Chains A and B, each alone.
Chain A
């Protein structure tokens, strides 16, 4: 009796241990949120820098105590939007090819290629951008440098390809065969079936892919840092203007910043964090909607 009881006790203890391990994920998210927000809100709470100036300023000059990130927010949004505009159509059509048109062997090969593209670290995309895209942009640019919004958009468009392709492909493949057969039976051609039946049916999955792509683009740091130019001021007004996204602002200066300067880098992180949270919630909602239907 005693032995059984002890055994049971041991089982309960270990179950508790497993629970704690699982709970580390929750603790981590909470800790990350608390630490980033705590450090990032400090300068506004202690009035060492006005929140309004931070959010609407268009100059970032730590030397003269000017910390405005509005032009960075604009840069981040422009770059992400441009990357989505170029990358998403290419990615969805590639997904269509893999799941609807390619034979199983060719499909497998392309899938492997896409996976490989996903596995290449972002730094290397940046190196590629710096070695190929930036010099090319410089050739057609009226500016004196190739680092620009355009170069950033190109690099990000390439980087979101694997995310959007693989998630769209999964959701397109999940569309029941009967839908396609029904469409063919009504006399629709293959292309009509794909665009009028399959893609609308896989819509929510494709949207999830697109939103994850947005998340990747807005959160990307290292690749962008090499090709965006990182100016200290100025809202981008043309494709050839340099930009300084939120992410690179953090990565560039965190190494040596201190005091208010460092805290405001955390604040930059808070703004980025809020963007990402909105994106995460959107994905969550979409996934739930899909399960519901």
Chain B
């Protein structure tokens, strides 16, 4: 084969390899979006994962229907992917809402339920309270199960409508708030990000200051650098094991928000140390010399001159760290658990978005839901990526001048 032919062939292989890399990326992102986008909506983001049964107390009050029959029938607030309409809707005046009978598919089980499809503007349901007197929201596609002790199971839609219409005064309605949302996971992720940053950020920044501003080359610095490198190379499952042995068991923090965030804080250390160090190094020596020449102490120089210049670098560190926490799963699986709930205290468990994505994919085999969570994660990752690009560009100003 001639040299030219060979070159063309090799070039072709290089193009092919690059093409593979790019198409893999597009394929993965595309797959996740296509599979999951159908589930992403406002309810998905704002609802709890588990459905919740509550008793709502409502003062009945006749509210006439303000829209015409056709619009009411066209209202389809319940989720078509999960539910298929069987009967209805029928408007019931004393609760100011329309109900329909639907076959409600909850993951694997299928059951027939009575679902609210429309709520009038002045409906008494709007001012519903729970047993403690706290107001609760009742929305469309919430499930009604009983009223004043009369269970709806096995009734036809019309019978249910009459049962409700026959009641008056204060109504005690058993309602199921639908689940399937990721609100608790979003909030847990936020908590995790905040807590781990509160711990890791000062340690990392001050550590980096020591390494760049104070330390003289020698054993100590080498040891610290080596340790940071080791930390960066340890897989997260080992951090999980450590977190389990130390925070969960030895310190008796249990599987909880605090165990998870402290474990993740250790994972973040090398990230923060490295980016802060790099940022501090870009601050020109002349700045420090100028400050010292004006009579400032070393500490003053660091806090008033060097650190302000390194802010974009530290911002990059923060963004990278957020990305790490959002993406972390193996360590959190062992230290923070898989319970989809908003952690009430530092010592209660909670699952972040990624852990939840794993959980629904593995334990429930629900790829669509995992992809829907994936979309939220990818959007966060892309936003962080773009932001960190902007902040690291800002840091380059010293070098450009």
Chain A residues with a Cβ under 8 A of chain B: 7, 10-11, 14-15, 17-19, 21-26, 28-29, 31-32, 35-36, 38-39, 89-91, 93-94, 96-98, 101, 110, 112-117, 119-128, 130-132, 158, 161, 165, 189-192, 195, 212, 215-216, 218-222, 225-226, 247, 250-251, 254-255, 265-266, 269, 272-273, 276, 279-280, 283-284
Q: Which residue of B lies closest to A272 (CB)?
A: B238
Distance from B396 Cβ to chain A, minimum over Cβ atoms (Å): 15
Q: Which residue of A lies closest to B361 (CB)?
A: A127
Other A-B pairs beyond A128-B32, A266-B245, 5, CB < 8 Å: A24-B203, A35-B246, A116-B25, A161-B24, A165-B21
The docked-state distance in angstroms from the alpha carbon of A74 to that of B238 is: 19
A28–B241 CB distance below 8 A = no
3 smallest CB-CB distances across A and B, nearest first, come from A219-B235, A93-B17, A121-B327
- Between-chain CB contacts (< 8 Å), 16 pairs: A22-B224, A23-B207, A23-B224, A24-B203, A35-B250, A89-B17, A93-B16, A120-B378, A122-B329, A132-B31, A191-B7, A219-B234, A221-B237, A251-B240, A276-B233, A276-B238
Distance from A146 Cβ to chain B, minimum over Cβ atoms (Å): 13
Q: Do A219 and B327 form a contact, CB below 8 Å, given A119-B381, A226-B358?
A: no
The docked-state distance in angstroms from the alpha carbon of A96 to that of B378 is: 27
The docked-state distance in angstroms from the alpha carbon of A114 to that of B22 is: 8
B358–A22 CB distance below 8 A = no
Is B58 an interface residue when CB atoms closer than 8 A count as contact? no
Q: Write out, one digit per residue, whether chain B residues 245-267 have a CB within 8 A of any chain A CB (1) or not (0).
A: 11000100000000000000010
Residues of A within 8 A of B10 (CB): 191, 195
Q: Which secondary structure dominates chain A's binding surface?
A: helix
Residues of B within 8 A of A269 (CB): 237-238, 241
B235–A119 CB distance below 8 A = no
- The residue that A189 contacts in the complex, of B7, B31, B224, with Cβ under 8 A, is B7
B25–A14 CB distance below 8 A = no
Interface size, chain B (Cβ < 8 Å): 88
B361–A251 CB distance below 8 A = no
Is B61 an interface residue when CB atoms closer than 8 A count as contact? no
Q: Which secondary structure dominates chain B's binding surface?
A: helix
Is B168 an interface residue when CB atoms closer than 8 A count as contact? no
Residue in B25, B35, B208, B385 whose Cβ sees the most chain A Cβ within 10 Å: B25
Question: Which residues of chain B in 241-299 are interfacial with respect to chain A, using CB atoms and an 8 Å cutoff?
Answer: 241-242, 244-246, 250, 266, 269-270, 273, 297-299
Is B391 an interface residue when CB atoms closer than 8 A count as contact? no
Q: Do A25 and B227 form a contact, CB below 8 Å, given A11-B298, A97-B17?
A: yes
Stretch at the interface among B104-112, B152-160, B366-374: B366-374
Is B103 an interface residue when CB atoms closer than 8 A count as contact? no
B381–A116 CB distance below 8 A = yes
Is B362 an interface residue when CB atoms closer than 8 A count as contact? yes
A131–B385 CB distance below 8 A = no
The docked-state distance in angstroms from the alpha carbon of A22 to that of B203 is: 7
Is B53 an interface residue when CB atoms closer than 8 A count as contact? no
Residues of A within 8 A of B203 (CB): 21, 24
The docked-state distance in angstroms from the alpha carbon of A113 to that of B384 is: 14
Q: Which residue of B lies closest to A218 (CB)?
A: B235
- The residue that B237 contacts in the complex, of A116, A215, A272, A284, with Cβ under 8 A, is A272
Distance from B358 Cβ to chain A, minimum over Cβ atoms (Å): 5
